[in-house]
Chains A and B, each alone.
Chain A
Amino acid sequence: MQIESPNILLIVVAAVVMVLYVFTNSAVLVWVERKVSAHIQRRPGPFEVGPFGLLQTAIDGLKLMAKQLIIPGKADKRLFMLAPVLSFVPPIAALLTVPFGKVVQVQNLDIGILFILSLAALNVLAILIAGWASANKYSLFGAVRSVAQNIAYEIPLLLSLLTAVLWMGTLNLGELVDAQGGFWFVFTPFGFVAFLIYFVTGMAETNRAPFDLPEAESELTAGFHTEYSGMGFGLFFLGEYTNMILVSAIATSLFLGGYNLPFVTLNGEGVLWELIRVLIFLAKAYFLIFVMIWMRWTFPRVRFDQLLNLCWKVLIPFSLVNLAAAAIWIKAVGG
């Protein structure tokens, strides 16, 4: 096996671009979230600052940066400072392997999906550290909930992704997309079930309602980030929105055919074709994000036992059976 030396310059430039993208993406998504939630509740949402209130989140971000970062006296200072960074950086690193287009992909790793999953798992660690270091009961409760819920949803999440990997026979994200072509994996029954399971557990992965138990405002004030102010909280926030884009990007590339239209494989060369592919990818990913926001403002938060029941009694058996069925199908028919 030949080991290529990674192009450091490319990675650094790409990482900077990715950070910029993440900041803009979060600002826009917060605006979208506030608009969607407002219209569902028949309010106008932000509309004062800038056209349609678009500058509202920019101003909010400025406010967050200007705020003092308060560290509680009893907190473990080093861990306390580490947690927001740990929640913010891994999703960005994971985004570097996402195939937005055939060429627009920073590093096409052979173990792309595995790389993303291992980085995504760090999010729980960040939450645990945040809750532990805060020296606050609410924070600790949030952290404990996060860890307990993590075990419940990670298994069906991995099993559903494993189904896709088994079907396409590769861990490389670019190859996963190419293997689907126009015939998205979600069009097969196995793919459909796996996609549903992945989407539900993906929402739990991002710690969003209805699975926002670690931060449950009504019970735990703000859960694990109770003690964080200013940009400490801001980084958790950015991390959450980056996680959203990551989860939907994985769903897009593994189940929804990445940058391909349904039943049409886009193989054109040139900048224009690449632009079209990127736009299609982003359209799918942002549609999934929109559905996530829509669900958040529709459903109440689940109780803890409800979450565990859902994961252990429904999602895990279904994803297991689905995986086994897909394996038998591949063996018998030849995927």
Chain B
Amino acid sequence: MLNYFKEIFVGIKSLLIGMKVTAFYGTKRTITAHYPFEKIPVTLNFRGHIDLVVTKKGYHKCITCGMCERACPSGCITLDSVKPEGAKKKKLTGYTLDFTKCSLCGNCVETCPTNAIKYSNDYYLVGTSRHDFHFDLLDRAMKAAEEMGIEWTEPVEKPKEPKEPQAEGGESPSPAGA
């Protein structure tokens, strides 16, 4: 009999505690982001699709070796390059990522000899067509440079001199590890 009253008392008490908890949280400020208008900053560790690294001088580091293209298990990277007449090195003219096939394995980033590609923080990916996910990374890098306030400057290749090994000096970081 005593247990019966004790149960009722404990029950009412626990109900009141529950009401207190909800009242406490009900009066605090809201913590949700109004999604289409507000976005939550994403962690720096987020490994999204790849992007070309923009150097301080305002250029990419790609030497168009094609390692990433070969390393990609899904074949979603396409490199286009030309070798201008008389130039010593190939020039990157297009870096296309077909993100519809990408499985975000990161093999391209691992294999890149010049660390020219990195993971982007971009998770806000919405499109109405699959063509929206064929990214032109060169174009993105140029835009990124513009956003960072760096002018996109193509390094001028020094004219061919007799001393050939010195020719590379003026360019973006040398592919020493290659």
A residues less than 8 Å from B22 (CB atoms): 40, 294, 297-298
Do the beta carbons of B32 and A42 come within 8 Å of each other?
yes
Do the beta carbons of B30 and A39 come within 8 Å of each other?
yes
B75 close to chain A: CB less than 8 A: no
Query: What per-residue 1/0 map shows which CB atoms of A270-302 lie under 8 Å from chain B?
Result: 000000000000000000000000110111000
Q: A40-B25, A42-B25, A314-B8 are in contact. Are A298 and B30 (CB under 8 A)?
A: no
B125 close to chain A: CB less than 8 A: no
B residues less than 8 Å from A39 (CB atoms): 26-27, 30
How far is it, in angstroms, between the C-alpha of A313 and the C-alpha of B7 when the chains are bound?
Answer: 12
CB nearest to B20 among chain A residues:
A298
* Contact among B15, B18, B32 for A43, CB-based, below 8 A: B32
Shortest beta-carbon distance from A112 to chain B in Å: 31
How far is it, in angstroms, between the C-alpha of A43 and the C-alpha of B25 when the chains are bound?
Answer: 10
How far is it, in angstroms, between the C-alpha of A314 and the C-alpha of B12 when the chains are bound?
Answer: 12
Smallest CB-CB A-B distances: 8 pairs: A298-B22, A40-B26, A40-B22, A39-B26, A44-B30, A298-B18, A42-B31, A43-B32
B163 close to chain A: CB less than 8 A: no
How far is it, in angstroms, between the C-alpha of A38 and the C-alpha of B27 when the chains are bound?
Answer: 11
Shortest beta-carbon distance from A197 to chain B in Å: 12
A residues less than 8 Å from B25 (CB atoms): 40-42
Do the beta carbons of B26 and A295 come within 8 Å of each other?
no
User: Of residues 1 to 47 in B, which have CB atoms within 8 Å of A's CB atoms?
Assistant: 4, 8, 15, 18-19, 21-23, 25-32, 34
Shortest beta-carbon distance from A127 to chain B in Å: 26
Query: What per-residue 1/0 map shows which CB atoms of A293-321 lie under 8 Å from chain B?
Result: 01101110000000000000110000000
Do the beta carbons of A298 and B31 come within 8 Å of each other?
no
Q: A298-B18, A298-B19, A299-B15 are in contact. Are A36 and B32 (CB under 8 A)?
A: no
CB nearest to A48 among chain B residues:
B34
Q: List 21 A-B contacts (CB under 8 A).
A: A38-B30, A40-B22, A40-B25, A40-B26, A41-B25, A42-B25, A42-B29, A42-B30, A42-B31, A43-B30, A43-B32, A44-B30, A44-B32, A44-B34, A294-B19, A294-B26, A297-B22, A298-B22, A299-B18, A313-B4, A314-B8
Interface residue ranges, B against A (CB under 8 Å) = 4, 8, 15, 18-19, 21-23, 25-32, 34
Do the beta carbons of B34 and A298 come within 8 Å of each other?
no
B residues less than 8 Å from A295 (CB atoms): 19
CB nearest to A299 among chain B residues:
B18
How far is it, in angstroms, between the C-alpha of A39 and the C-alpha of B8 when the chains are bound?
Answer: 30
How far is it, in angstroms, between the C-alpha of A303 and the C-alpha of B177 when the chains are bound?
Answer: 68
A residues less than 8 Å from B21 (CB atoms): 298
Shortest beta-carbon distance from A273 to chain B in Å: 34
How far is it, in angstroms, between the C-alpha of A42 and the C-alpha of B31 when the chains are bound?
Answer: 6
A residues less than 8 Å from B19 (CB atoms): 294-295, 298
Shortest beta-carbon distance from B69 to chain A in Å: 46
Query: What per-residue 1/0 map shows which CB atoms of A245-287 lie under 8 Å from chain B?
Result: 0000000000000000000000000000000000000000000
Query: What per-residue 1/0 map shows which CB atoms of A32-52 lie under 8 Å from chain B?
Result: 000010111111100000000
How far is it, in angstroms, between the C-alpha of A42 and the C-alpha of B28 when the chains are bound?
Answer: 7
A residues less than 8 Å from B30 (CB atoms): 38-39, 42-44
How far is it, in angstroms, between the C-alpha of A295 and the C-alpha of B12 when the chains are bound?
Answer: 13
How far is it, in angstroms, between the C-alpha of A295 and the C-alpha of B26 when the chains are bound?
Answer: 12
- Most B CB atoms within 10 A — which of A40, A294, A297? A40
Shortest beta-carbon distance from A166 to chain B in Å: 24
How far is it, in angstroms, between the C-alpha of A86 and the C-alpha of B161 when the chains are bound?
Answer: 98
Shortest beta-carbon distance from B34 to chain A in Å: 7
Shortest beta-carbon distance from A40 to chain B in Å: 4
- Most B CB atoms within 10 A — which of A38, A294, A298, A299? A298
Shortest beta-carbon distance from A73 to chain B in Å: 38
Shortest beta-carbon distance from A272 to chain B in Å: 34
User: Of residues 23 to 80 in A, which have CB atoms within 8 Å of B's CB atoms?
Assistant: 36, 38-44
* Contact among B23, B28, B32 for A294, CB-based, below 8 A: B23
A residues less than 8 Å from B28 (CB atoms): 42
How far is it, in angstroms, between the C-alpha of A39 and the C-alpha of B23 when the chains are bound?
Answer: 9
A residues less than 8 Å from B18 (CB atoms): 298-299
A residues less than 8 Å from B27 (CB atoms): 39
Shortest beta-carbon distance from B81 to chain A in Å: 50
How far is it, in angstroms, between the C-alpha of A298 and the C-alpha of B14 when the chains are bound?
Answer: 11
How far is it, in angstroms, between the C-alpha of A259 and the C-alpha of B97 when the chains are bound?
Answer: 72
CB nearest to A210 among chain B residues:
B15
How far is it, in angstroms, between the C-alpha of A40 and the C-alpha of B31 when the chains are bound?
Answer: 11
B residues less than 8 Å from A298 (CB atoms): 18-19, 21-22
CB nearest to A41 among chain B residues:
B25
B residues less than 8 Å from A299 (CB atoms): 15, 18
Do the beta carbons of A36 and B26 come within 8 Å of each other?
yes
